[in-house]
Chains A and B, each alone.
Chain A
């Protein structure tokens, strides 16, 4: 089955830039999205169509794509950005796949 691969964890210092990668064989041909999930809360869409930011999401969140890898970048990371981040794409025209998630620690 199709898989999206993310690093399980990463840490970044406050004010610094952190980047989370997501790799998958089909990402070069499709859009990906990113979701932020804080403990005890529902996921929140932070990036869609690889690079677009929904209204209400801070400008410090950005997305990019190179080949079969998409990247979520947080510039000027704040303590409130500490959360789990999941990438998401499609296994087929209807089936959805999520990455395993990356736990971002801000310290």
Chain B
């Protein structure tokens, strides 16, 4: 069974750093992109970026580039997104999802349960 299990909720102060994780199981980790998606309170889905675990190539949405870093550790089949300096506007639920690596635009066929990040002074 394919599973993406994310780390637990976080409460942080503005300016603090944070890394949240997404542990994959039930499939070959290096055959799928790991994507991160933000959902602010009561809002829609926003694509943040993705990483190809087979070569660590990453791509970012212009809205997030420079503010986050996406990484992966193949040894433990885990993807990460990290912030070096959080803002109150980073308060949101963050989802990871997998996407088959293909030139034909494959869908996000499995999602993590989401990680709630709250940034407040």
B44 touches A88 (CB 8 A): no
Please count how many residues in chain A sit with their CB below 8 Å of the partner chain's CB atoms: 27
B46 touches A98 (CB 8 A): yes
Asked if A43 meets B111 with Cβ closer than 8 Å, knowing A31-B105, A96-B35, the reply is yes
B93 vs chain A, min Cβ distance (A): 9
- Chain B contacts with A in 96-121, Cβ cutoff 8 A: 97, 103-109, 111-114
Please count how many residues in chain B sit with their CB below 8 Å of the partner chain's CB atoms: 23
Contacts of A30 in B (CB 8 A): 105
B108 touches A33 (CB 8 A): yes
- Chain A contacts with B in 48-104, Cβ cutoff 8 A: 48-49, 54, 84, 86, 88-90, 93-101
Residue of B nearest to A46 (CB): B107
- Chain A contacts with B in 1-48, Cβ cutoff 8 A: 1, 30-31, 33, 35, 37, 42-45, 48
